[in-house]
Structure 1
């Protein structure tokens, strides 16, 4: 045995030593170029483990204090990365989109979501849809028609799944509602079994697309890849059937998002392929499902936790309810009256933002805050470095909806939906969905948390460990 160890040890140590020498030299040359301060963590592993254990908020806060409050370097997801902090960092990245930076997704995310043919493509090639199309279908004028549909589905959802005087888990139920709504509005899919065929594998995707990219059976990443394949197969079947149906009926107007995509042509007059449409729908499902479910859950958490906030929301929503007939559905005008409720939702988004920031890739070398950011590095802007900063939000841990009265927070400090050219086009969709859900829940129930200090963990978005169980207390007659 000893002889074997003496033989094998040099074979292991030599390549490791060479790697460490190269790594050290590389770091030395980087320091001479005045790259941002920071650490790359462990060879090969980077700081993935620290990011996972600390959570995004503490990870960023610790490094801002240790290295720089403006920008620091790290290594995440196998990439050299510069983390930009604070309102100035947000502004710089938002304003330099398509100038110094371009969109970027981690390889793990692309492999889980996209067809293998598109994994190595840049995101502009993956989309094949002009960003203006997304803005057109998700702007307020187009979304007005969705409000009665959202309201009717919310009522039905509460009738079936929110039993008075019981305990329900808000997070899984909000995910069920948001996914059913997306299937109805985007694809006109309403059959529960059909929705389940999409929802089950899609949950595997969202649970594993930011996990450690180890593709072995049993890992979250492996399940995400398998789930993505199942979702794409089901979407391709739906898209092909719809295209055939539209051609047979000679349809020229889109009844839903899918139909509109099937009617879109590029500059050469060519229709989008089924794969391109599938990529776009998957992107919209990710945006409308995980983050909106997290936002709804967070709002319900604060309403259950803070009775003085709940009562003000209830008063506002009851005024709206009293102005309508018994079965009359909500309208755009009703949503516009929900000013205090939206301030509550925004304060919830400040304290518990569904998305932690976003990645970009540098397309040219540039200087920021006196530091060199090389071409090819990845960047990340982070919500917490401004949302929890007492300079922008006094007593940052206090829940205070009045922060959003008047002109509201300073520019680039409140960024749950990003900013600049790539601000989330689904911002208005999310606003409507959250407010419609708030209206229906507070009209029916008072909420009390079953686990007062339930821990929040971070997967694709902030997730209550036990799903946020709440007691549903119906209002007295």
Structure 2
């Protein structure tokens, strides 16, 4: 036993040493935001998951500070910025005081191993270039007929009159099929399934406890990520070969456009770089959009008076179209009440919770010192249900968005300022097109009126939101 004493004593003293180092750092860093770092290693991750992000943030704003507080999440010391002022500060100081940041566990699950330690700014540089290309108005207008056609196909296949459907899994299928069709020109369901099945493993485990051990959700996410990358690499190589044989000079979709890009030295983007950027787009356009679609259908099925207003607006548009005529940009612009209804759905059930950044220099905010290297998080939950900005915050009221709408930076489902999500317009079109096709065909009724919504990566109905579909009387 005595042989083990030299090894046991350092282990017993290690927590005390770490606490002492942490204490010295706190003393040297001025007036840090109040808060708690929770338990060693796991921090406050369990409290965040068990209470849900809304309650977690609300409780700590009341206990510590309504401006900012500190916590420990994902193995990092983190400052949570609160309210419209906190949101604005983070948005307006992007690339000045902050840089974008992803947890290492997230990069490990999503990206090629050779890139998991790279700076996020370097990894997303190519994607930002293509965001401009694929999300500019000219491109978006071309997507609307494709969205409309796919929505009709999807409803024909899965949404049968006088049946009960589970909205959440079907919304995920629709949004994934759409991004595969628009960006990769994939229409074969077997091909799409080879991407969607492992991608579901990724989405289901990337924000779980990052233990890469058999049986853990994170281990499944890592395996799923590897399978997604392998399938994407196969698709990319096949497309490159096809383009070389046909000497295609103009890309027909996002993938082809990426294959034609060259750096200043004349080299093309590597297949791994293209795969990494497509995965980033899949993550951004899949989970949050399917959650937004689910939230909208939830409130349409729950609130008949809201449904009736949306129905009237959408039928006025439908009556102006021929039976085989697809929606256009001009039709979308007429959906004023419907868009306000969507925004109110996103206020009450926001698909994205916020975004992470890293402080690149020490600075002061609201009298608190934020040290260099700390992670920061802007969030929707400190303002979306705050009665100061939204009177009767639990009431569903689309009229909040009429006129000038809510105060700046209080409604932030897509971020704001320079940090505004570049896919906001894409999501708006996708949700409105899908809504149009659903209400044109059906009246909706929830089969579980008080179905619980839990937080996973985004708000998730426990039973998948089963809804009864009633066809309109002719």
TM-score relative to the length of structure 1? 0.96
What corresponds to 2:83 in structure 1? Answer: 86
Deviations 1:324-358 (A, max 9, x none): 11111111111111110000000111111101000
Distance 2:276 2:419 in 1: 18
| Alignment equivalent of 2:170, drawn from 166, 169, 173 | 173
| Alignment equivalent of 2:441, drawn from 426, 440, 444 | 444
What corresponds to 1:55 in structure 2? Answer: 52
Indicate the SS of the match to 1:358: strand
Deviations 1:230-254 (A, max 9, x none): 0000001111111111122111111
2:339 pairs with 1:342: yes
2:223 pairs with 1:231: no
What corresponds to 2:321 in structure 1? Answer: 324
For residue 262 of structure 1, report the CA deviation from its aligned partner: 1.3
Aligned partners of 1:139 and 1:428 also within 8 Å: no
Distance 1:286 1:466 in 2: 23
The range that moved more, 16-25 or 108-117, is 16-25
**1:85-164 alignment runs, 5 A limit:** 85-129=82-126, 131-164=128-161
2:21 pairs with 1:19: no
Indicate the SS of the match to 1:218: coil
For residue 472 of structure 1, report the CA deviation from its aligned partner: 0.6
**What is the root-mean-square deviation of aligned Cα atoms in Å?**
1.7
Aligned partners of 2:67 and 2:366 also within 8 Å: yes
Off by >4 Å, runs of 4+ in structure 1: 6-14
Deviations 1:236-277 (A, max 9, x none): 111111111112211111111111111222333332111111
Distance 2:466 2:235 in 1: 35
Distance 2:165 2:412 in 1: 31
- Assess, with a 3 A threshold, how the Cα gap between structure 1 residues 138 and 169 changes in structure 2: closer, same or farther: same
**1:65-464 alignment runs, 5 A limit:** 65-129=62-126, 131-464=128-461
Deviations 1:389-419 (A, max 9, x none): 1111111111110011112122111111112
Deviations 1:442-463 (A, max 9, x none): 0111111111111111121111
Aligned partners of 2:127 and 2:277 also within 8 Å: no
Structure 1 stretches lacking a partner, 5+ long: none
Distance 1:82 1:9 in 2: 40
Distance 2:395 2:6 in 1: 57
Distance 1:277 1:421 in 2: 25
Indicate the SS of the match to 1:129: helix
Indicate the SS of the match to 2:382: helix
Structure 2 stretches lacking a partner, 5+ long: none
Distance 2:285 2:270 in 1: 23
Distance 1:456 1:85 in 2: 23
Deviations 1:363-386 (A, max 9, x none): 111111111101111000011111
- Assess, with a 3 A threshold, how the Cα gap between structure 1 residues 29 and 239 changes in structure 2: closer, same or farther: closer
Indicate the SS of the match to 2:118: coil
The range that moved more, 243-252 or 142-151, is 243-252
- Assess, with a 3 A threshold, how the Cα gap between structure 1 residues 191 and 366 changes in structure 2: closer, same or farther: same
Distance 2:23 2:352 in 1: 31
For residue 26 of structure 1, report the CA deviation from its aligned partner: 1.8
Distance 2:201 2:84 in 1: 34
Aligned partners of 1:128 and 1:276 also within 8 Å: no
Distance 2:444 2:127 in 1: 43
For residue 23 of structure 1, report the CA deviation from its aligned partner: 1.2
Aligned partners of 1:445 and 1:472 also within 8 Å: yes
Deviations 1:147-194 (A, max 9, x none): 011001100100010011111000000000000001000100100111
For residue 12 of structure 1, report the CA deviation from its aligned partner: 5.7
For residue 29 of structure 1, report the CA deviation from its aligned partner: 4.5
Aligned partners of 2:295 and 2:345 also within 8 Å: yes
Distance 1:377 1:396 in 2: 32
Distance 1:256 1:296 in 2: 25
Distance 2:161 2:56 in 1: 41
Distance 1:299 1:283 in 2: 25
Deviations 1:78-133 (A, max 9, x none): 00100000001001100111111101001111111000001100112223416243
For residue 424 of structure 1, report the CA deviation from its aligned partner: 1.1
